[in-house]
Amino acid sequence: MNEPPGSQISDAAWMRRALAEADAAEQHADVPIGCVIIDSGGELLAQGHNRREIDGDPTAHAEVVAIREAARRRGHWRLDGCTLYVTLEPCPMCAGAIVNSRIARVVYGAADPKAGALDSLYSLGSDARLNHRFTHQGMLLADDSVARLRAFFAKLRAEGQK
């Protein structure tokens, strides 16, 4: 997977990797959202999935987990030039973490009409009032992301949990 970042082939391949991370989240009863971060050369820097339930941490969203790992691996909090792939449009907390980590580009799967902070409800990635902006593209392999989320919540409802 060393194609240049931004190519359709590369984007789809990295999103499939994020979808695999989403599957890992479901293994421990977390909402199936996955994230992958690559550096400017197209190399995998970090990956993560939701860990709120298993860690008991409300901030353990897939993006935050991956950003923390990427910063640790880089040895610095700045993730300049990196691309973040995530299966669901980032929420305000995650979009804020993306701004603060200086990630250059975000590609997401499904839109999030209830909490989406890039297109659906807010436009944090392009807000000129913030100290950093990033480009983004949405709806890549969105049907695959939506299918995982629907199946997860249908199972919870069937078990009487939500």
Instruction: Determine whether 63 is an active site residue.
Output: yes
d(CA 129, CA 72): 28
Residue type, 3: E
* Of 21, 26, 63, 89, catalytic: 63
d(CA 96, CA 99): 5
d(CA 81, CA 68): 16
Nearest by Cα to 87 from 144, 43, 44, 30: 144
By annotation, the residues acting in catalysis are 63
